[in-house]
Structures are given as structure tokens and as C-alpha cells.
Amino acid sequence: MSPATPAQGQNRGFVVPIGGAEAKRKDPVILERFVDLCGGDDARILVIPTASLLDETGPLYQELFEGMGARAMCIPIEQRDDCYQDKILDTLERASGIFITGGNQLRLSTILGGTPVARAIRRLNSEGVHMAGTSAGAAIVSEHMIAGGRGGPSPRESGVVLAPGLGLTNRAIIDQHFNKRGRLGRLLAALSFNPFACGLGIDENTAAFIAPDGVLEVVGHGTVTVVDPADLRHSSMSYVRKAEAVSLIGLKLHVLAHGSHFNLETREASLK
């Protein structure tokens, strides 16, 4: 599923995957940056807590964004029927930013996938509305979503489970809580199937602010691990036996801290 195409002369909004466990009250640099991006005191941020089973998740983020000067609203979409309600769709249309919380990304894909809400989010992003997601909300922004898989440093057959995402970008596959939970192996396994997209492994309390031109900036206290498979010459995924390690030859890897950049179009990393 590809991103919606912007109208002529229109810039799409930022896409901001966050690795989870972002600072919320002490030095909340990521959330503050998102509020500023969405308009500061004029920001209208819609919180979608669908991935979480905790009743307090949505209201917590609403309170946080309001404390930063934004106007915020939480819409608890809990079943697919909710995604067809005119009231919810009308609320989406008034947002300058959309924030999807963490939880279970399969709840997001099974409840939002293919609905008017999912189509509206893609269209609104193409019209300039900024979209951020943390943890599960980060995983679903890409065309192909990592829905699960084993931890560890090595890619293995059956090491990752993929599902369709929202398709806000088809240039990256995203994994979150990256170094904390040892997820390099499953990100590599995901890339081994079809090395078109880059892999972004995003640490906790870290975000990739992906601009309309495809250049991402790292913000936060951890790193974004970029795996670039553009020059991949060999993948053994097609013939290894179940759970065996996979050979990948020709990958390029970057580890980027706060302030670093990576261009998803040209595949170039830089410190500025």
C-alpha cells in the first residue's frame, strides 16, 4: 500500500515514528517537537489509542499535549464499526496532527486497516497533516509492518511476522524498542524478503522525523539504526530450513544519534 499522492504544489506532512518509552514529563523533546511541528499553540492534535488496552493511555497523551499548549482530543476507536462513524471522520478532518499510541500493532491493523479512517489518515498526510506514532503506532506507519518475531542479533527463517501497515511510507520498514529488546535480527529478516525499503530500528525515547522530501532527522536520547539493502547481492532466505540463520551479503548499516540525518531517497547519511 503506497502513500497517497499530494496534489500539485502541496507538501505532504511529516511522518514521525517513535521507538516507544518517549520522555513525557521530564525533557519531553520529542513530543514538544511534534507539537511545534503541528502549529504550537494553534496545534490541533488527535490522539488514537486503539493499540492500547489501557483506558488511561489516550487521556494521558491528551493531557500531555494540552500541557504543551496544543488543543488535543482523544478518539477511542475500539472496533471496526467505529471507523465508519461520520463524527470520527469529521474530527480527523480538523486535525493538524495525528498521534497513534503504543500497544499491540495487530489491534491497529485489524481495526483500522482498509477502513475510511485509514484512508483518511493517508489522504490527510498527503495534504500536509503531520502524523506520529509511538511503539506500535510507529510500526504501522510503513507499507509493510513488523507485527512480531523473535529477538536476537541474527536474521532467521520464520524470524519475523509481517502484516500490511497504513502505508504512509513505502521507503522504510520500522522496528521499535530496537536495542532495548534486541531486534536487529528480525529487522534484517524483514528486509531479506524484498530489499527495496530501508530498515529503521528506532531506540526508546528516540524518533525519526521524516520530512516531505524523504530526509529524516533523529531526535532523542538513543539512536536510529539504518539498514540499507540497496546493494544487497545475496539473500539465503528463500532456501534455508525452518529457523535457520540467513546469509545477507552487501548490506550497509548506519547508526545515527540526535541531530543526524538520512535521506531515504538517495540513501545518504549525514551529521547535519
**Residue 205: which domain range?**
15-270
In a domain, 102, yes or no: yes
The answer to whether the CB of 162 falls within 8 A of the CB of 147 is yes
In a domain, 266, yes or no: yes
Rounded to two decimals, the pTM is 0.97
In a domain, 55, yes or no: yes
In a domain, 10, yes or no: no
Residue 124: all three cell numbers together: 490527510
In a domain, 6, yes or no: no
In a domain, 9, yes or no: no
177-191: average pLDDT: 97
Percent of the chain with pLDDT over 70: 100
121-140: average pLDDT: 98
Catalytic annotation, pick one of 22, 32, 157, 204: 204
3-state SS string for 143-175 = CEEEEEECCCCCCECCCEEEEECCCCECCEEEE
pLDDT band at 207 (very low <50, low <70, confident <90, very high): very high
Residue 43: all three cell numbers together: 496545534
Examine the residue annotation and report whether 204 is marked as an active-site residue of this protein: yes
121-149: average pLDDT: 97
In a domain, 72, yes or no: yes
Catalytic annotation, pick one of 52, 96, 109, 135: 135
Spatial neighbors of 207 by CB under 8 A, at least 6 apart, are: 16, 17, 18, 19, 22, 30, 33, 132, 218, 219, 220
Residue pLDDT, tens place only, 79-122: 999 999 999 999 999 999 999 999 999 999 999 999 999 999 99
What's 252's domain CATH number? 3.40.50.880
The answer to whether the CB of 100 falls within 8 A of the CB of 108 is yes
pLDDT of residue 55: 95
> Exposed (0-12), middle (13-18) or buried (19+): which is 86, by Cβ within 10 Å?
exposed
In a domain, 241, yes or no: yes
210: nearest Cα among 194, 192, 195, 198: 198
Catalytic annotation, pick one of 22, 144, 157, 177: 177
Residue pLDDT, tens place only, 2-45: 788 887 778 999 999 999 999 999 999 999 999 999 999 999 99
pLDDT band at 1 (very low <50, low <70, confident <90, very high): low
Percent of the chain with pLDDT over 90: 94
pLDDT of residue 16: 98
* Number of domain units in the chain: 1
Dmax (CA) for the chain in angstroms is 56
